[in-house]
Structure 1
């Protein structure tokens, strides 16, 4: 039985409602995280049972394994969840070859600490970007298959620069995919304020995803955007606060003060997720951000 957790309406442009907490799934299926298979599926089902209804992933997370895990774990409960995925970043040819050896690499990582460091360093480097309509069309179809769904609730361009947004290559395609029923709505995951400001100029953008520190620096613009029907997902809320539960709760309170917002908790620990859920339940909604309670 699903427990109660406050939910918020993400705005008229998407028409989506979701729990005020979302699970960030970037580490599920990762070679380094060690959270894959049955353990990852159990975490996903635990999150849903705890009242978390929004799951945020991307086609590159775990080389696609994050999406596959979500598809398997949440099968049969599609009407209870809001699924967010992203595309626009690509692996290099070397990374695609390495992905084929993912299972043995995961075993070696536990035996060879130096290998873990090498993989982590490699991952820190920026990936190539491709926001062409051809690439995104294929990415959407592949994500639908991995997620085992017929429509993505919210599809995000993954970390485009302000200049890439100004060029506007994929927007007509994304609007067509909404009309075709492949996407319910689309938005942009931004890494900085310049990209976010460009994104807010687009009439079809239904939601933004931002680091919390970027959102705080542009709060007035985001308040105005909420009034225009644009939703917000906040990430990197607990950056630099490992081991400090009080600081994490305070950061979560800051995130949940934004209108039409969902706070994303990226974790592979059921205990840490439960801590965030309990903190969110204890936070009183400000009057400007009415919340409903899920059944």
Structure 2
């Protein structure tokens, strides 16, 4: 199947499917989407025409990247790989990760344990955007993904001040020149960090919550004119209470210039539903 293509701007020169698969829950303790189940979902997405897979080094304690690496073996050139780094686990969380498999089984049987894990996951993780940490994270992601290049690498949720410091930008530009990254950008959480990211000349793309994007459409349109692309995330937040629901959320995401929509799911049926909403969804000509 062929999905409508989106051009993510001249800075990245990437063309991707209008909908990409968000892989944050693949391999996690709570999702149950791991091993053959996860690989079946990934193959289903690729066969359905999804060409962009979005992950991060912390998702599933690295298992999301490993699952993607196995699923795309022999199909690497079909896929635009997006991963992130800059958040890190505490020492206690790293110890817990060693017992991940038995924890997953136990959490399925003990609701209180499941709730405790979910509450801990909801908390903010420490950030480290130092060049040394980010570069070692890139190298580790390349190994887990089983590839020699990352198509789009994102700094994972720095605040506006960290972006203005820009301590790792020169190193990331070097990784692009070395061919380990095709382009890099920033995953932002709020208006302040988005505004700071848009001012960085090397930023090729922003990953941004749809609700934040709605607040700053003129700034994003100006960024698109400068060659920046946009990955809309959290697009279904509150969608059930909005007119048109999920179809309207996809339409709104793709109406931004040089923008694609991320659908985070572990269900092939839910992904197919989202892909079905593309029918009749106009995509601005400047994005193709």
TM over 0.5: yes
Alpha-carbon separation, structure 2, partners of 1:78 and 1:153: 11
Equivalent residue for 2:138?
A: 140
Alpha-carbon separation, structure 1, partners of 2:117 and 2:214: 32
Alpha-carbon separation, structure 2, partners of 1:217 and 1:43: 33
Residue-by-residue CA offset, 1:73-118 (whole Å, 9 max, x unaligned) = 0111111110000000000000000000000000001110000100
Equivalent residue for 1:56?
A: 54
Q: Secondary structure at the match of 1:209?
A: strand
Equivalent residue for 2:250?
A: 252
> Is the 1:177–1:183 contact (alpha carbons within 8 Å) kept by the matching residues of 2?
yes
**Residues 61 and 242 (structure 1 numbering): CA distance in 2 closer, same or farther, change over 3 Å?**
farther
Alpha-carbon separation, structure 2, partners of 1:153 and 1:132: 21
> Is the 2:259–2:287 contact (alpha carbons within 8 Å) kept by the matching residues of 1?
no
Equivalent residue for 1:8?
A: 6
With normalisation by structure 2, the TM-score equals 0.98
Alpha-carbon separation, structure 1, partners of 2:246 and 2:6: 21
Residue-by-residue CA offset, 1:195-234 (whole Å, 9 max, x unaligned) = 0100111110000000000001000011111111101000
Residue-by-residue CA offset, 1:246-278 (whole Å, 9 max, x unaligned) = 401111111110111110000000000000111
| Aligned positions of 1:171-210 closer than 5 A | 171-210=169-208
Moved over 2 A (4+): 240-246, 288-291
Question: Which of residues 99, 107, 110 is equivalent to 1:109?
Answer: 107
> Is the 2:24–2:56 contact (alpha carbons within 8 Å) kept by the matching residues of 1?
yes
Equivalent residue for 2:278?
A: 280
Count of matched residue positions in the alignment of Structure 1 and Structure 2? 288
With normalisation by structure 1, the TM-score equals 0.95
> Is the 2:176–2:183 contact (alpha carbons within 8 Å) kept by the matching residues of 1?
yes
Residue-by-residue CA offset, 1:125-145 (whole Å, 9 max, x unaligned) = 100000000001100000000
- Across the aligned residues of Structure 1 and Structure 2, the Cα RMSD in angstroms comes to 1.3
Residue-by-residue CA offset, 1:8-30 (whole Å, 9 max, x unaligned) = 11111011110010100000000
Equivalent residue for 2:262?
A: 264
> Is the 1:57–1:86 contact (alpha carbons within 8 Å) kept by the matching residues of 2?
yes
Alpha-carbon separation, structure 2, partners of 1:271 and 1:244: 22
Equivalent residue for 1:98?
A: 96
Flag structure 2 segments of 5+ consecutive residues without an equivalent. none
Equivalent residue for 1:36?
A: 34
Equivalent residue for 2:25?
A: 27
**Residues 19 and 209 (structure 1 numbering): CA distance in 2 closer, same or farther, change over 3 Å?**
same
Equivalent residue for 2:44?
A: 46
> Is the 2:21–2:54 contact (alpha carbons within 8 Å) kept by the matching residues of 1?
yes
Question: Which of residues 160, 169, 181 is equivalent to 1:162?
Answer: 160
Shift of 1:43: 0.3
Flag structure 1 segments of 5+ consecutive residues without an equivalent. none
